[in-house]
Amino acid sequence: MARTPAVLLAPGVWRVPLLRDFINGFVFRDDDGQVTLLDMGLKGHGPKLLAALESIGSGPSDVTRLLLSHAHPDHLGGTAHVAKETGLAIEVHADDAAYVRRGEIAPQVAVGLLGRLLHLLTPEQKLEPLPVAAELTDGQVLPVAGGLRVLHMPGHSPGHAGFLHEPSGVLVTGDAIMNPIGLRWSPKSVCSDYRMSERTAHRLAELDYRVAAFTHGPEVRDRPREHIRRFLARHGT
């Protein structure tokens, strides 16, 4: 389990363990010091993310972009605090943008005991409506630290997206694949369409990358493409 405030993945790219390694945010820093934050964890994680930013020599005034992989509370919850501290609006895929604007959780299907428990708890999670600065599209390359490509992989949520930092080869899978105790799918109960999530995640087999980073779980640095391709081959749809 990570104990440092920010884990260096590649030059200018860090993973921020917000709940040990189980929930992660990410930092991308340009050569001129501009910072992009991706995912801000649960409500209450915003200050921890900004403290991690300080640990690498940056601060809220350096942040110029806030990205969200999808509109679920373990990614969106801490965003309100960070948005207030930075004065920025959110950038998220177009299919999840309306949920962010309304302060709603993107649809999840209650399946099994875990799903029913999550849906019982969901009304207690108060998410603030937040302004959306830009609606992202699949394949779009953002001017972030030399180029960050948007990978729309719907199913976990309608607008769920991963991101590939092309200069460093760091892939952030979002929740398409998790790595809490080995590679695995997201639970059915937290997906809007589980089968679609499985299908769209298979595009990860087509990409080239040198580090696989996960919003849930530690990164894989040793032959990550082979690990993910084997996982997808075993779990084909």
Question: Which pLDDT score is estimated for 236?
Answer: 66
Identity at 164, one-letter amino acid code: L
**Coil vs helix vs strand at 65:** strand
Q: What domains can you pick out in the chain, each with its CATH number?
A: 7-234 (3.60.15.10)
Question: Which pLDDT score is estimated for 121?
Answer: 45
Per-residue pLDDT tens for 172-185?
999 999 999 999 99
Per-residue pLDDT tens for 87-141?
999 999 999 999 999 999 998 865 555 555 545 544 445 689 999 999 999 999 9
3-state secondary structure 204-223: HHHCCCCEEECCCCCCECCC
Residue 73 has pLDDT above 50, yes or no: yes
Give the residue ranges of DSSP H helices in the chain: 46-55, 73-76, 79-86, 94-102, 112-121, 194-201, 224-234
For tokens 């087509």, the residue is 206
Per-residue pLDDT tens for 10-63?
999 999 999 999 999 999 999 999 999 999 999 999 999 999 999 999 999 999
3-42 b/e (C-beta count within 10 Å ≥ 16 → b)? eebbbebbebbbbbbbeebbbbbbbbbbeeebbbbbbbbb
Per-residue pLDDT tens for 140-173?
999 999 999 999 999 999 999 999 999 999 999 9
Residue 78 has pLDDT above 90, yes or no: yes
Average pLDDT score over residue span 194-215? 96
Residue 2 has pLDDT above 60, yes or no: no
Question: Which pLDDT score is estimated for 116?
Answer: 52
For tokens 């084997």, the residue is 230
With both helix axes pointing from N to C terminus, report the angle between 46-55 and 79-86 in degrees, rounded to the nearest 10. Answer: 50
d(CA 34, CA 6): 17
Question: Which pLDDT score is estimated for 189?
Answer: 85
Identity at 115, one-letter amino acid code: G
Q: Which residues pair with 217 in a beta bridge?
A: none
Residue 213 has pLDDT above 70, yes or no: yes
Sign of CA dihedral 112, 193, 43, 19: positive
